[in-house]
Structure 1
């Protein structure tokens, strides 16, 4: 079972996410709490995935993210936001969030996103904007990464697109009929050539470079 903690200041949002996720046989919502209870609840329940509101009146979502990241066995954290141009998203991604999604995400997609997060994938809303990407990648990094794209092989570019879709290494291996070890080698080569520190940054670069359509699907 994938253990999920939902953290949001609105009870209606918490209840909605919990009811949607509880319909999945392989997902258990261990708790749904406001921000002030997040860290204590995470320590007690040891979730695999935390869906964390980025804007809360009782406690800053970025502060909660930092505290969760300091736990001995930190969960995977994805940020929840109402705004597709939330200026805090870039900061959250730099601070270790595995992605972000809008609160109006299609309910049918939510369990798939949680599974991807639990398996080491990234989740980036299809409404990721240039503002968010620009806030995450400084101008110098964008120029370096753009040159790195030209150095990718066709196979590495295909892997990069699947990373941007949020797939884990195991899922990419299945999609491309490769071994997981081979995919790991490709991911390592991609990160080196793009001069980025992780999958989220590579995924955002793929978005920035136009490798995905606006709906999040590959070109």
Structure 2
């Protein structure tokens, strides 16, 4: 006589074998979908400006050697930091080359982090308030070449925008003396279906042309330096 628990196990095994034979259990062992980021292009930012339409300025504009990038969200914050803080006092943190991550064929996003070059203890209180208004809320402890620790303020600005065709360099009034390299990456979704991997990256469409006037400024992102190292995670 078969014991009840053994009978249940035997019945379960027989049912599973039947499902496998009939193909109903295939999806149980299929790996889930996953995402990966793939770099597929690069560019170099050569100018910073604004779109100009009917005597009114709107979005921030980054002009590259290949493409143009209109910043919809975060552009005002970026431009305020770049225009109001001297270039030698704002340092790009771990943003070289700058990464533009595309979620679709023309829509991208990214993050730029700026560190104020002067240690916090050496910044007058009035200037500290101004920096906080510009987004420098976070603190970072770094070691200098002599092993001394200093506390610095930094800002992390997220942005997103749309990619367009590049424009003729003859239309650019002010170019940066130091172009900033950009890596263009796209999120690739790999779908597993019946043990076959299918990519859903989609076709990369050509960017649209810009039909408005532009104004560029004699400014740059900031200093790129590797002279200091992290000694403590950001607070």
Considering only CA atoms, is the larger Rg found in Structure 1 or Structure 2?
Answer: 2
Q: TM-score range by the shorter chain?
A: under 0.3
TM-score where L is the length of structure 2: 0.23
Higher helix share: 1
Name the structure, 1 or 2, with higher relative contact order (CA <8 Å, separation 6+).
Answer: 2
TM-score where L is the length of structure 1: 0.24
Higher strand share: 2
